[in-house]
Homo-oligomer: A and B are copies of this chain.
Amino acid sequence: METSETTAISDLWEMLQQGPRRTLAQAAVDEFGKRGFHATTTRHIAERIGMSPAALYIHYPSKADLLFTIAKIGHEAVLNESLAAVEGISDHHERVLSFVRTFTAWHAVNHLLARVIQYELHSLQPDHLKEIAAIRRRTADFAAEEFRHLVSDTSKLRMRTVACLSLSIDVARWYVPGKSPAPEELGAEYAQLVIAMLRS
Residues of A bordering B, CB below 8 Å? 34-36, 38-39, 118-119, 122-123, 156, 159-160, 162-163, 166-167, 169-171, 173-174, 181, 186, 189-190, 192-193, 195-197, 199-200
Q: Which of A39, A166, A200 has the most CB of B within 10 A?
A: A166
16 A-B residue pairings within 8 Å (CB atoms): A34-B122, A35-B122, A38-B38, A38-B39, A118-B173, A156-B189, A159-B181, A159-B186, A160-B193, A163-B167, A163-B189, A163-B190, A166-B171, A167-B167, A170-B170, A196-B200
A200–B169 Cα distance when bound, in Å, is: 21
- Closest CB-CB distance, A191 to chain B, in whole Å? 11
- Chain B residue contacts of A163, Cβ below 8 A: 167, 189-190, 193
- Closest CB-CB distance, A179 to chain B, in whole Å? 11
Task: Apart from A36-B36, A39-B123, list 12 A-B contacts with CB within 8 A.
Answer: A38-B38, A39-B122, A118-B173, A119-B119, A156-B189, A159-B181, A159-B186, A162-B174, A163-B193, A166-B173, A170-B170, A196-B200
Which of B34, B162, B197 contacts A197 (CB under 8 A)?
A: B197
A181–B119 Cα distance when bound, in Å, is: 22
A35–B200 Cα distance when bound, in Å, is: 37
The majority secondary structure among interface residues of chain A is helix
Residue of B nearest to A165 (CB): B170
Residue of B nearest to A185 (CB): B159
Q: Is the CB of B189 within 8 A of A119?
A: no
Q: Is the CB of A200 within 8 A of B192?
A: yes
A35–B123 Cα distance when bound, in Å, is: 8
Which of B38, B192, B200 contacts A193 (CB under 8 A)?
A: B200
Q: Is the CB of B122 within 8 A of A189?
A: no
A36–B192 Cα distance when bound, in Å, is: 34
- Chain B residue contacts of A173, Cβ below 8 A: 118-119, 166, 169-170
